[in-house]
Structure 1
Amino acid sequence: MAYDPGKKLLIIKLSSLGDIVHSMPVAMALKRHRPDLEIHWLVRDQFADLLAAHPAVDKVIQVRRKPGLSEIFRLRRQLRSEQYDTSVDLQSLARSAVATWFSRAKLRLGYHRQQEGAWLFSKAVAPKVPGEHVIRQYGALAEALGCPIDPIEFGLSPQPEAVQRICEKLEQIGVNGPFVALNLGSGGAEKRWPVEHYARLVPMLRSAGLTPVVIGSPGEVSLYEELCKFVGEKVPSLVGQTSIAELVAVLSRCAAHVGADTGSSHIAVALGRPVVSVMGPTLPERSGPFERREFTLYKGPDGLTSISPEEVLAVLMRALRPTERADSAQAKEAVYWPYFPVRRPPTFIWRFCFGIVGYSLYCIYATLAIPYLVLQAVKRHWSGRYATLGLRRTLGGTRPPRRGNWVVLVGTGLGETRTAINAAASLQKTRNPDIAVALEYGEVARSLKGSYSFPLLVAPFNNPISVAINLIKFRPRALIFIEHARNLHWTFWSRVFGAKTLLVNVNISERKAQRYSKYPFSSVLFNSVDLVIAQSDEHRDRLIRSGVQEHRIRVAGPAMVNEVPEEHRPAIIEKWKNLLGIDGARPVVVAGSTHAEDERVLIEAFAKFRKTFPDAVLCIAPRKLHRVPGVDKVLRDTKTEFVRRSELPAKLPPSGVVQIDTQGELSELYCLATVAFVGGSFVPNHGGHTPLEAISWGVPVTIGTNFLHQEAVVYASRDAGVLTICRNAEELADEWLRIAGDPSTRAELEAKCRELLARHQKVYEAWYDALWE
């Protein structure tokens, strides 16, 4: 006789990764036969993402692996408040038994292999066939509640956000086609297939037209490094770089998975991917890939190491045959790789109509915001942010110094404005003296200290009045927009005055390309200008997928900004030497635009660095001033003494750590740096920040693995030998030691920085020449 589960049921399966996947068919069977049943799942927090979007689970309750006393009491209160009718303990160990007791469920069922006293708290349900696969053993509990487990369904699918992130990460490591996921690890050393066997398999996969990509947890980095030593080169890797959700996403995109008895194998099975499993000593009939016995290699409890790579490859090719050998390229793309639909570019009439309607709505919004913008403009003027410009020029009163064929560079953001000013200074010397810069940030002009000789057109807060006045006075032949053309007042009125428009230095991430390709109005950002110049071929391809006509795109490389004029550099160097009280022989690490995740890695790396250089100095400049208290907390949590920039000049603490709590000085601080670190790069899913400020001082740069919005600059700098991508604190410290340990290396890197900047200064000339094609 079947039990009645009631209206609310709790599944308890805390770990591990593969076991949770094996438990999913229980939830699916319950929800399939009882759609009204509310199902909650208690799971360890590190695996919660696996269940976050599961269709059969209404609520996920998380608990840490080693909860404190207060968390235990919180969990007790939470479980009791839910008033469960039934609890299903699929773990049947002491911890899950305690959770069963906390739930106070009227009906308590448990997995039949009860240990550590679990039999005291739940009723064991034995499977019909002893020794059958664990999925069917778990399924016996669903059947005891009147819900047959067949047909087996996992209900696991990748999250769209995770898929986007994985596509970007795969592109970063150079994978753009079918790939085989290799997992070198397993639940124990006795279950691992030897690394040297994987090393022999790698060239075999490449010969078969498949790219190997190594996956795994952060604890398996050493196995990956051992693999690279055997192979003799780097193998594409995502080891330690994926969350649980991203692991599901990457397995959903792979052509096949190869591994031992590990959780990723079971995820791949749940996703319907081909799986080749190398097993021992565990039995494949009980815990191997479900219903994939023909693709599982097993030679007895002690036969794992005797399984050869040739045997694995043969089984893999057999597993791939139904799909990998398909003749249809379209089917292959649909199976193995995300399809990015290329939307047909909008017609001229559609663009014209949308331009009029869109600009009208944009003007309505701007009109409603006028009172606020006026107050902000007055506030900024009196606070000195536009003090060097004067009120008349701020409101659009700049007069051209002469008649001429003016070209105006428009920077809508702080970084873009700096690029515009650097480009103007370069073009004024090489191409055309009639160059002007339009900006929204008066503080940029203020920081230049009168070193520029070109007119500045100011349109604070993107107001149309200042834009129209400036264009009427200058009557420019062309406008060059830096990175963005979001300021529709400039783009619309430039059309009215017949000026040619150019959007330059465009970098568009894979995530944005996918988003732009889905929404019909997104391409107006690019189609409102005559020509678009991208930073690289990859960005060009993404623009095409976003709806930009191919004939309107050019590639010129990324712009490299030389931030500080040469004549100001000696004074800046002297200023910081006096403030820090150091000479040029003392190693200095400058970390700019940091976030909390970066700072924890930095402190760990710096501690290792100081073992060799005990007098080294670390300067941490957070991304925003409001993060200063957050940096304080990170430093105090790690028991690191520090001094703030606002307290200088002062004696540096024994730790050598300085926190920069002022604004606008980071670009100067790099003057004393032995090596730099650019923040945001250890923050998952972050776009990163530019390394150019450090490179402009001839300083080599280290960054983490997240630099989505700086791809072209990062790769160009890496290829030039002045930037190193590091995956963890140990690699950071090793790179810092390499640079600081040899003065000749430091001098060589400084020369490479200057060569890189000089080479990319020609990008500005390519922009200007494209105007007159």
Structure 2
Amino acid sequence: MNPISLSIYNLLWMLAWYPTKAYLKLRKRSWHLSRFESPTIHDSASNQVAWIHALSLGEVMTSIPLVTAFSNKKWTVLFSTTTKSGYQTAQAKLGQLCNEIFVLPVDAPWLTRKLCRVRPNMCIIVETDIWPNLLNTLKKNGVPVYLVNARMRPSSWKFYHLLHQMGLNMFDELDVILTASEVDVPVYASCRSFFPNRVKFMGNLKWDAALLNRSDKKEIDNLKRQLRLEASRSVWIAGSIHYGEEEKILQTHKRIMSHFSDALLIVAPRKLEIVPVLTEKCHRLGLAFELRTTSNTITPKTNVFVLDTFGELSKFYGLADCAFVGGSLVPFGGHNPFEAAVYGIPVCWGPYAYNFSDATANLEASKSGKTVYSEDELFDFVMGSLQRTNIVPLPFSPEPLSISNRIFQFLTSAVNRSYEQ
């Protein structure tokens, strides 16, 4: 990074420090205020210490298999996050795997210098959340920094390109960038002034995270028995749907039933406020429905089963012959298609799945998923999937932690090589 640009950046921090703190106190933003303090991190006697950072809840969930891989190899793991939801999730999910869990402070130079007195063997940033002073201080201290599961949105590229023009090219401070999809490799390579070959694709950690959350065959069989779901029925599922998608999904199912009279649609709204809308439209279309909260059985007369509960969607994907992942026919950004794909079923999503472009690229490359742009294309996809009962190819290995272990081996080998040099 350009020293003059970094000095100007730090001057802005000095000017904004007290007014920002005063504003946060006035607004009683206690969580944001906590990031204006340096966390207390205890010294570790271990000579194998990895600092893993994840921005928020989604990145924390993605990082679970990677943390598990390091913990399984007896590494000391320091884990940081930025948001309140990320911190709470890390405490709940990673408390037994990490030696320290703390909140990353803001990027003021005096805070990063104090924070970086900790000297891990490596710092791993999951997906995003890179900052000039943090990277600069780690580099001065000789700590290699790796960006893993990296993905670049068009809006982010414009932002980082602007920083590059201002002399704050943070990608040059990263030792290696491991992308979440092959599509992102040339994008990140173009962002580096030096060593563009240090950008690699090794798999998507979201896949490992979905595998860890997948229900096994015994659980799926028990669920089928509990619901009294007939094995001969053709089943498709629409998961995490948002308002505005229910009409197209129900209309599609109405058309499907003209070809498969016993077809069953399992529909899981992202928010429970959509349930009354769903049931009203089922009535209007003449579709017999059951609610999960009021019925534990699916009768032969049930056309639509509404999953009006939280935390069950993943195992219900295991009941289906194919899946549509919602939040993507409307401009919301989509949801994780790997949660369905780990069951070896065809998966589709709409044109607005931009928050999961890495996962959709992985699935399309392996021909196990597809973007549908209209109700007609959704109908064609479901019909084609129900007519073919073969298992689709998986984008990655079905073995748990396969990607995480490969990334672990790569990063630890890279650290050892840097020490030898």
Amino acid across the alignment from 2:149: N
Do the aligned partners of residues 463 and 733 (structure 1) sit closer, same or farther apart at CA in structure 2, a change above 3 Å counting?
A: same
Contact 1:523/1:548 (<8 A) preserved: no
- 5 Å-filtered alignment, 1:659-698, equals 659-683=306-330, 687-698=333-344
- 5 Å-filtered alignment, 1:205-604, equals 348-357=2-11, 359-360=13-14, 364=18, 365=20, 368-369=23-24, 372-374=28-30, 403-429=46-72, 433-439=75-81, 440=83, 441-442=86-87, 444-445=89-90, 448=93, 453-455=97-99, 457-459=101-103, 475-485=119-129, 494=138, 499-514=143-158, 516-518=160-162, 520=165, 526=171, 529-536=174-181, 538-543=183-188, 548-551=192-195, 553-559=198-204, 560-565=207-212, 569=216, 572-573=219-220, 576-577=223-224, 580-582=227-229, 585-604=232-251
- Shift, 1:416, TM fit: 1.3
Do the aligned partners of residues 490 and 645 (structure 1) sit closer, same or farther apart at CA in structure 2, a change above 3 Å counting?
A: farther
- Shift, 1:702, TM fit: 1.6
- After superposition, what is the alpha-carbon deviation per residue over 1:628-657, rounded to whole angstroms, capped at 9, x for unaligned? 566566656656554444435355694532
- 5 Å-filtered alignment, 1:740-755, equals 740-743=386-389, 745-746=390-391, 749=392, 754-755=397-398
Q: Secondary structure at the match of 1:404?
A: coil
Amino acid across the alignment from 1:478: M
Do the aligned partners of residues 468 and 349 (structure 1) sit closer, same or farther apart at CA in structure 2, a change above 3 Å counting?
A: closer
Does 721-730 or 637-646 show the bigger shift? 637-646
- Report the Cα distance in structure 1 between the residues aligned to 2:371 and 2:199, rounded to whole angstroms: 28
| Residue 354 (structure 2) aligns with | 708
Do the aligned partners of residues 630 and 461 (structure 1) sit closer, same or farther apart at CA in structure 2, a change above 3 Å counting?
A: farther
- Shift, 1:411, TM fit: 1.3
- Report the Cα distance in structure 1 between the residues aligned to 2:78 and 2:233, rounded to whole angstroms: 42
Do the aligned partners of residues 725 and 376 (structure 1) sit closer, same or farther apart at CA in structure 2, a change above 3 Å counting?
A: same
- Report the Cα distance in structure 1 between the residues aligned to 2:114 and 2:319, rounded to whole angstroms: 41
- Report the Cα distance in structure 2 between the residues aligned to 1:631 and 1:360, rounded to whole angstroms: 53
- Report the Cα distance in structure 2 between the residues aligned to 1:490 and 1:575, rounded to whole angstroms: 49
Q: Are 1:731 and 2:387 counterparts?
A: no
Amino acid across the alignment from 2:47: G
- Shift, 1:447, TM fit: 6.5
| Residue 30 (structure 1) aligns with | none
- Shift, 1:400, TM fit: 7.5
- Report the Cα distance in structure 2 between the residues aligned to 1:445 and 1:633, rounded to whole angstroms: 39
- Report the Cα distance in structure 1 between the residues aligned to 2:122 and 2:23, rounded to whole angstroms: 30
- After superposition, what is the alpha-carbon deviation per residue over 1:67-117, rounded to whole angstroms, capped at 9, x for unaligned? xxxxxxxxxxxxxxxxxxxxxxxxxxxxxxxxxxxxxxxxxxxxxxxxxxx
- Shift, 1:481, TM fit: 0.9
- Shift, 1:582, TM fit: 2.4
Amino acid across the alignment from 1:736: V
- Report the Cα distance in structure 1 between the residues aligned to 2:208 and 2:62, rounded to whole angstroms: 6
- After superposition, what is the alpha-carbon deviation per residue over 1:703-756, rounded to whole angstroms, capped at 9, x for unaligned? 23344343343232223232133333343334334433444x03xx26676459
- Shift, 1:377, TM fit: 11
Do the aligned partners of residues 551 and 351 (structure 1) sit closer, same or farther apart at CA in structure 2, a change above 3 Å counting?
A: farther
- 5 Å-filtered alignment, 1:32-47, equals none
Amino acid across the alignment from 2:179: A
- Report the Cα distance in structure 1 between the residues aligned to 2:260 and 2:114, rounded to whole angstroms: 55
| Residue 367 (structure 2) aligns with | 721
- Report the Cα distance in structure 1 between the residues aligned to 2:275 and 2:105, rounded to whole angstroms: 27
- Shift, 1:574, TM fit: 5.9
Q: Sequence identity, in percent?
A: 19
1:608 pairs with one of 255, 259, 269: 255
Contact 1:406/1:477 (<8 A) preserved: yes
- After superposition, what is the alpha-carbon deviation per residue over 1:255-281, rounded to whole angstroms, capped at 9, x for unaligned? xxxxxxxxxxxxxxxxxxxxxxxxxxx
- After superposition, what is the alpha-carbon deviation per residue over 1:469-498, rounded to whole angstroms, capped at 9, x for unaligned? 995796422211111125779657756865
Amino acid across the alignment from 2:129: A
Unaligned stretches of 5+ residues in structure 2: none
Q: Secondary structure at the match of 1:715?
A: helix
- Report the Cα distance in structure 1 between the residues aligned to 2:7 and 2:47, rounded to whole angstroms: 33
Do the aligned partners of residues 751 and 551 (structure 1) sit closer, same or farther apart at CA in structure 2, a change above 3 Å counting?
A: closer
- Shift, 1:764, TM fit: 5.1
- Shift, 1:578, TM fit: 6.1
Do the aligned partners of residues 584 and 692 (structure 1) sit closer, same or farther apart at CA in structure 2, a change above 3 Å counting?
A: same
- After superposition, what is the alpha-carbon deviation per residue over 1:544-564, rounded to whole angstroms, capped at 9, x for unaligned? 66x542525512244133425
Do the aligned partners of residues 682 and 767 (structure 1) sit closer, same or farther apart at CA in structure 2, a change above 3 Å counting?
A: farther
- Report the Cα distance in structure 2 between the residues aligned to 1:401 and 1:642, rounded to whole angstroms: 57
Contact 1:591/1:620 (<8 A) preserved: yes
- Report the Cα distance in structure 1 between the residues aligned to 2:87 and 2:295, rounded to whole angstroms: 28
Q: Are 1:622 and 2:278 counterparts?
A: no
Q: Secondary structure at the match of 1:681?
A: coil
Contact 2:242/2:269 (<8 A) preserved: yes
Q: Secondary structure at the match of 2:195?
A: helix
- Report the Cα distance in structure 1 between the residues aligned to 2:285 and 2:68, rounded to whole angstroms: 45
Unaligned stretches of 5+ residues in structure 1: 1-346, 379-394
Q: Secondary structure at the match of 2:336?
A: coil
Contact 2:24/2:32 (<8 A) preserved: no
- Report the Cα distance in structure 1 between the residues aligned to 2:411 and 2:310, rounded to whole angstroms: 32
Do the aligned partners of residues 350 and 678 (structure 1) sit closer, same or farther apart at CA in structure 2, a change above 3 Å counting?
A: farther
- After superposition, what is the alpha-carbon deviation per residue over 1:264-314, rounded to whole angstroms, capped at 9, x for unaligned? xxxxxxxxxxxxxxxxxxxxxxxxxxxxxxxxxxxxxxxxxxxxxxxxxxx
Do the aligned partners of residues 568 and 625 (structure 1) sit closer, same or farther apart at CA in structure 2, a change above 3 Å counting?
A: same
Q: Secondary structure at the match of 1:647?
A: coil
- After superposition, what is the alpha-carbon deviation per residue over 1:332-356, rounded to whole angstroms, capped at 9, x for unaligned? xxxxxxxxxxxxxxx5213422442
**Relative contact order higher in (CA < 8 Å, ≥ 6 apart):** 2
Amino acid across the alignment from 2:385: I
- Report the Cα distance in structure 1 between the residues aligned to 2:280 and 2:114, rounded to whole angstroms: 47
Do the aligned partners of residues 354 and 504 (structure 1) sit closer, same or farther apart at CA in structure 2, a change above 3 Å counting?
A: farther
Q: Secondary structure at the match of 2:210?
A: coil
Q: Secondary structure at the match of 2:258?
A: helix
Amino acid across the alignment from 2:24: A
Amino acid across the alignment from 1:438: S
- Shift, 1:587, TM fit: 3.6
- Shift, 1:584, TM fit: 5.0
- Report the Cα distance in structure 2 between the residues aligned to 1:575 and 1:400, rounded to whole angstroms: 48
Q: Give the TM-score normalised by the residue count of structure 2.
A: 0.73
Do the aligned partners of residues 427 and 648 (structure 1) sit closer, same or farther apart at CA in structure 2, a change above 3 Å counting?
A: farther
Q: Secondary structure at the match of 1:676?
A: strand
How many pairs align? 402
- Report the Cα distance in structure 2 between the residues aligned to 1:377 and 1:635, rounded to whole angstroms: 48
- After superposition, what is the alpha-carbon deviation per residue over 1:16-49, rounded to whole angstroms, capped at 9, x for unaligned? xxxxxxxxxxxxxxxxxxxxxxxxxxxxxxxxxx
- Report the Cα distance in structure 2 between the residues aligned to 1:377 and 1:652, rounded to whole angstroms: 54
Amino acid across the alignment from 1:716: N
Do the aligned partners of residues 471 and 585 (structure 1) sit closer, same or farther apart at CA in structure 2, a change above 3 Å counting?
A: farther
Contact 1:642/1:657 (<8 A) preserved: yes
Contact 2:5/2:168 (<8 A) preserved: no
Contact 2:6/2:168 (<8 A) preserved: no
